[in-house]
């Protein structure tokens, strides 16, 4: 386990070294979202009985911050290693592909959770946020960040330039996140977009995580858990197989 722990520590130290950019900046950006939507919609929107719009919004924003930073951590690390050429030191180490994969994923989970906890603690200073099922909240936070960490690893392997990675972030991750019900209930959408949302795995991550806070959700948390687990398993198997073949890593 020495090599696995070393690679994990290296990845954690990598984003902690620039914590102003990797931790503080995402927290501030998420709080700005909260500030804007709180002032604009809190007095006009009611989503669930006895649940204010602010209480509905905060869990979604926390989860959005978690998954986006989990994706950014693994994807940026890999693309930087490829461009600088130091990825060779990871590939030549006596580590299995599974150890390499899970070291990157675990570091992504840690960064996502640090940002999410930071947002949560700051919002507690100003708002009363219920927490009905903490275990569900923790489970979806870990599983959601793991899925996005694996997706970030897959994107980092596939991309060859920073602009390709930015395109992946801007045209896939960001739209799927914003269309996952962070700022609204899916039931309030037109029928077409309701059906579209049911094919968006990010929706199940947000909805399940919000269930842990509010005790209510648009779909069963068990259904969300199954769908997210399947998505994570599929992405993980694909990524580990690509690591094994050395696609866009060994050339």
pLDDT digits (tens, 9 = 90+) for 173-220: 988 888 888 888 888 888 888 888 889 999 999 999 999 999 999 999
Domain boundaries, the chain: 2-245
3-class DSSP assignment, residue 189: coil
Q: How many CB atoms lie within 10 A of CB 122?
A: 15
pLDDT digits (tens, 9 = 90+) for 212-244: 999 999 999 999 999 999 999 999 999 999 999
CA atoms within 13 A on the CB side of 21: 7
pLDDT band at 251 (very low <50, low <70, confident <90, very high): low
pLDDT digits (tens, 9 = 90+) for 70-103: 999 999 999 999 888 888 888 888 899 999 999 9
Structure tokens at 173: 């991750």
| pLDDT higher than threshold 80 for residue 45 | no
């Amino acid at each position: 386990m020495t090599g696995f722990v070393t690679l994990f520590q290296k990845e954690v130290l990598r984003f902690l070294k620039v914590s102003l950019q990797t931790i503080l900046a995402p927290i501030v950006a998420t709080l700005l979202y909260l500030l804007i939507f709180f002032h604009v919609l809190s007095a006009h929107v009611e989503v669930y009985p006895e649940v204010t719009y602010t209480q509905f919004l905060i869990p979604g924003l926390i989860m959005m911050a978690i998954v986006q930073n989990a994706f950014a951590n693994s994807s940026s690390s890999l693309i930087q290693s490829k461009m600088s050429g130091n990825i060779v030191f990871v590939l030549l180490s006596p580590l299995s592909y599974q150890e390499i994969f899970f070291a990157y994923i675990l570091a992504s989970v840690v960064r996502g959770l640090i940002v999410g906890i930071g947002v949560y603690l700051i919002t507690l200073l100003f708002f009363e946020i219920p927490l009905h099922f903490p275990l569900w909240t923790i489970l979806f936070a870990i599983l959601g960040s793991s899925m996005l960490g694996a997706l970030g690893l897959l994107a980092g392997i596939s991309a060859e330039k920073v602009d390709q990675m930015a395109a992946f972030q801007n045209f896939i991750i960001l739209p799927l996140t914003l269309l996952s019900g962070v700022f609204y209930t899916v039931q309030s959408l037109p029928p077409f977009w309701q059906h579209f949302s049911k094919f968006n795995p990010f929706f199940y991550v947000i909805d399940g995580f919000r269930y842990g806070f509010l005790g209510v959700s648009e779909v069963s948390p068990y259904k969300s858990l199954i769908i997210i687990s399947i998505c994570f398993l599929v992405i993980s198997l694909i990524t580990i197989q690509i690591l094994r073949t050395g696609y866009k890593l060994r050339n």
